Amino acid sequence: EVQLVESGGVVIQPGGSLRLSCAASGFTFVDYSMHWVRQVPGKGLEWVSLISWDGSRTYYADSVEGRFTISRDNSKNSLYLQMNSLKTEDGALYYCAKDKGSTGWLFDYWGQGTLVTVSS
């Protein structure tokens, strides 16, 4: 059974830094690209970032480019999101999602999310 478990969400002040983690199990982690997707509770979904299976390629939404860094440790089956210079609008539930590895980039398994609140 595929499991994705996010952690690291906290209440943090604007301008602060935070690192989210996602522990993956139930599939061969190294074989798949991975994503972060966020959602303000009660609102829509926003794709944040993508990392290829080997970490050689990364992509970001314009809203986080230059402030967030996605990374992975395939030896630990773990995905990370380093978030710097946080803004109030970065507050959301952050989901780790596995790429299906099929037609285009899409998310076939999701974690339950970790909540980031950015507030002074």
DSSP string, 22-34: EEEESS-GGGS-E
Is the separation of the CB atoms in 21 and 116 below 8 Å? no
Contact set for another protein, span 95-114 (CB under 8 A): 95, 100, 102-113
x-or-dash pattern for another protein, window 55-94, by CB under 8 A? ----x-xx--------------------------------
Q: How far apart are CA 87 and CA 91, in angstroms?
A: 8
Looking at beta carbons only, is 34 or 50 nearer to another protein? 50
Phi–psi pair at 109, nearest 5 degrees:
-140, 140
Asked if 47 interacts with another protein (CB under 8 A), we say yes
Task: Report, in Å, the least distance between residue 96 CB and another protein.
Answer: 10
Which residues share a beta bridge with 95? 37
| Contacting residues toward another protein, per CB under 8 A | 35, 44-47, 50, 59, 61-62, 95, 100, 102-113
